A and B are shown apart, each in its own frame.
Chain A
Amino acid sequence: MAEKIYNWLDERLGLEAIYGTVLDRKVPKVNWWFTLGSASLFLAGMQAVTGIFLTMYYVPSPDKAYDSIQYIMNDVAFGWLIRGIHHWGASLMVVIVFLHMLRTFFYGAYKYPREITWLTGTFLLLFTLGMGFTGYLLPWNQRSFWATMVGTEIAGTVPLMGDFILKVLRGGTDLSAVTLARFFSAHIWILPAGIVSMISVHMYLIIRLGISNIPSEEE
């Protein structure tokens, strides 16, 4: 019976073909450093799931942000776990994505024909850092407030248009309710949209081109 259902679905959806293309690919003999990409994807998925559930109780407003997180940590069942995974997963994701870039660089895996994979990867690294920067403000405690104050001021040191960049980031001269709201928006909508689209291209290219060999002395 189960086989009949599976065959019915497979005939219409092409499940075997998807499985064969996506998972049953030929790979060269590689090492554990080649698992960092999958690890990054897994962490991105964890951040997405835990992040979606955090928005159920979090309120991006200066007078409620801190209290709503206290509520998540102390009163909601497993709130500490969901936020804990999101908090530590964020730091881990930056580390893993960075190591993934280093592996690609030192194995020369960015070369022809994988330049666009590398290019989308650089965007993914920048978006990941952007997620870290915007997410850091959301708890609205002293540390996040002053970190964002410093971070936006650093952006303000860009020659000529620095002041404009600072104002765009903050949504005005001051770090205010407007800043919190736009960082939240960037954190849950704008940057994730960029990450999802870049991951799609990145993954498509990995499936299309396969992964690179470890460079050897003969080459």
Chain B
Amino acid sequence: MAKKASSPNLSRRDFSKIVMAFLGSIMGAFVGLPIIGYIISPALKTQKIDDWVSLGALDGYPIGTPKLFSFTRTKVNGWERTTNSFGVFVLRKSASDLVVLSNVCTHLSCRVKWIEENQAYVCPCHDAEFGIEGKVLYGPPPRPMDEYEFKIEDGNILIHLTEG
């Protein structure tokens, strides 16, 4: 089949090629472009926790003694649900002056316990001790206990939970 180079009109064969290329590109784009979104979409979701968690009525906490409050938060990654438990010590120094501390030891993330006789938070893992306001008294922790930002609304304590 010799090409009719002299013909000023588009040959049937060239027309077919152009139509095929055109339709092929549309179909390719129809599947190809969504696939890009399909691959990258989980990367575009923000999964940071930024939440105000209620710890209940301020009056429920005694003055002068830390009281533990525990709660859980569930994180969803695709089809996986992970429930993390949080524990905070609320120390009411006076009527409305609070310190809210995470019960996670700053050394290796064990959970500390308030021991009334020692007047200290004691970590069971390496015998670390923290003072009533979270200062390191003894042991390997590199920094004081982590503090939560808080606010009081309608007589309830709310703490600011960030991080994942």
Seen from chain A, the residues whose Cβ lies within 8 Å of a Cβ on chain B are 46, 49-50, 53, 56-57, 59, 64, 67-68, 70-71, 75-79, 81-82, 85
| Cross-chain contact B79 with A78 (CB below 8 angstroms) | no
| Cross-chain contact A53 with B79 (CB below 8 angstroms) | no
CB-nearest residue of chain A to B42: A76
| Cross-chain contact A71 with B78 (CB below 8 angstroms) | yes
Which 4 A-B pairs give the minimum distances between C-beta atoms?
A77-B41, A78-B34, A67-B79, A77-B37
Set A46, A49, A71: member contacting B79, Cβ < 8 A: A71
- Give chain A nearest CB distance to B56 CB in angstroms: 33
| Cross-chain contact B38 with A82 (CB below 8 angstroms) | yes
**Dominant secondary structure at the A interface:** helix
A-B contact pairs, 20 of them (CB 8 A): A46-B31, A49-B35, A50-B31, A53-B38, A53-B39, A56-B38, A56-B39, A64-B79, A64-B80, A68-B79, A75-B42, A75-B78, A76-B38, A76-B41, A77-B37, A77-B38, A78-B35, A81-B34, A82-B38, A85-B31
Set A53, A57, A78, A81: member contacting B78, Cβ < 8 A: A57
Given contacts A67-B79, A68-B78, contact A53 B41 (CB under 8 A): no
Inter-chain CA distance A197–B78, complex, in Å, is 36
B60-79 interface code vs A (CB 8 A; 1 in, 0 out):
00000000000000000011
- Interfacial chain A residues near B42, Cβ < 8 Å: 75-76
Inter-chain CA distance A50–B32, complex, in Å, is 10
Inter-chain CA distance A64–B81, complex, in Å, is 11
- Interfacial chain B residues near A53, Cβ < 8 Å: 35, 38-39
Among B20-50, those with CB < 8 Å from A are 31, 34-35, 37-42
- Give chain A nearest CB distance to B68 CB in angstroms: 33
CB-nearest residue of chain A to B38: A78
Inter-chain CA distance A59–B79, complex, in Å, is 9
| Cross-chain contact B79 with A79 (CB below 8 angstroms) | no
Most B CB contacts (10 A, CB to CB) among A49, A59, A67, A78 go to A78
Given contacts A76-B41, A76-B42, contact A82 B78 (CB under 8 A): no
